[in-house]
Amino acid sequence: MSDARARVRSSLYRFAYLYAILIVALPVVLGFVFQNQIYTLWVEQFEGPGFQREFGFRLERRVVTLRSGESYSRAVIIHVDPGGRFATLGVRPGDTLACLYHGIADFYGELALARGGYEAHFRLLSPDALQLGCDGAREITIAGRPLP
């Protein structure tokens, strides 16, 4: 009888170990592996709409085709509210976000600075300048107090 109990106990321990790996360790590892993608998804889905309302624009991911025939997925400003903060900065529908190291999260990070009253900078490409890449980008500055 004790031999049977030992086998059952051993099976339970193996199950508990496997359970701990699958339920605890695996999500943690996957979280680290996909951290940037998860953060970008969070920013786009939950924080982005608030920034868009506050600054008066709508942003969408679109496939943009260059003259060379290459296609890229880009964040494109599809609407600017007349009289909104972006309209007063000269942002126009069709402008694409340019030269972002960490993608759209960088853009929203700059808007978070502006929301806090700090000076913020980001770069945009007009549809005509899209072929030039970063060289054709214009910098937009939202005035505020300089960072300490």
Q: Is 125 a domain residue?
A: yes
Is there a single domain that holds both residue 131 and residue 58? yes
Number of domains in the chain: 2
Read off the pTM: 0.71
Q: Is 147 a domain residue?
A: no
**Domain coverage including residue 127:** 35-142
Cβ atoms of 75 and 96 within 8 Å: the answer is: yes
Does the pLDDT value for residue 1 go beyond 60?
no
Sign of the four-CA dihedral 100, 106, 110, 115: positive
Task: Pull the structure tokens for residue 8.
Answer: 């059952």
Q: Is 122 a domain residue?
A: yes
Cβ atoms of 83 and 111 within 8 Å: the answer is: no
Is there a single domain that holds both residue 27 and residue 91? no
The per-residue pLDDT for range 14-69, each reduced to its tens digit, is 777 777 777 877 778 877 788 777 777 887 888 899 999 999 999 998 888 877 78
Burial class (CB within 10 angstroms; exposed 0-12, middle 13-18, buried 19+) of 109? middle
Is there a single domain that holds both residue 2 and residue 45? no
Please give the pLDDT value at position 72: 82
Is there a single domain that holds both residue 104 and residue 44? yes
Is there a single domain that holds both residue 29 and residue 39? no
Is there a single domain that holds both residue 111 and residue 95? yes
Q: Is 77 a domain residue?
A: yes
Q: Is 126 a domain residue?
A: yes
- Give the H/E segment covering residue 85: helix 85-88
- CATH number for the domain including 127? 2.30.42.10
The residue behind tokens 């700059």 is 110
